[in-house]
Amino acid sequence: MKKEQIQAIVPVTVTLEECKESVNPKESGQYKKSNWKARIVNEEVIPRIWLMPNMILLEKRAKELKVAGMTIPGVEFYDDFTIVTKQ
């Protein structure tokens, strides 16, 4: 975009109803498809049932936390070892 075109842009404030009307289908055969999503606005009030621990981070740091004697309430760090035989 050219500098003159950018300077010519004028922001406009519209109401929610005007915005909804502008996205209504205009031609036959068109329809509006909803794509619902979620956005966290205050994680402090999210019910516990919706929270998920970061298992990737916990498992990545498990050894160093266990060796350091650190604990996290509700988490057990353990060595899930395998036996490897070289031939």
Instruction: Give pTM, 2 decimals.
Output: 0.44
Residue 67 lies in a domain: yes
Query: What is the predicted pLDDT for the residue at 4?
Result: 78
Q: What is the residue range of 58's domain?
A: 53-81
Query: What is the predicted pLDDT for the residue at 56?
Result: 92
Number of domains in the chain: 1
Cβ neighbours for 53, distance < 8 A, ≥ 6 positions apart:
75
Answer whether 63's CB lies under 8 Å from 51's CB: no
Alpha-helical runs (H) found in the chain: 3-7, 16-22, 55-67
Query: What is the predicted pLDDT for the residue at 3?
Result: 76
Query: What is the predicted pLDDT for the residue at 54?
Result: 92
Residue 76 lies in a domain: yes
Per-residue pLDDT of the chain (87 residues; tens, 9 = 90+): 677 777 788 877 878 787 677 666 667 777 777 788 888 899 899 998 888 899 999 999 999 988 898 888 999 998 888 988 888
Query: What is the predicted pLDDT for the residue at 1?
Result: 63
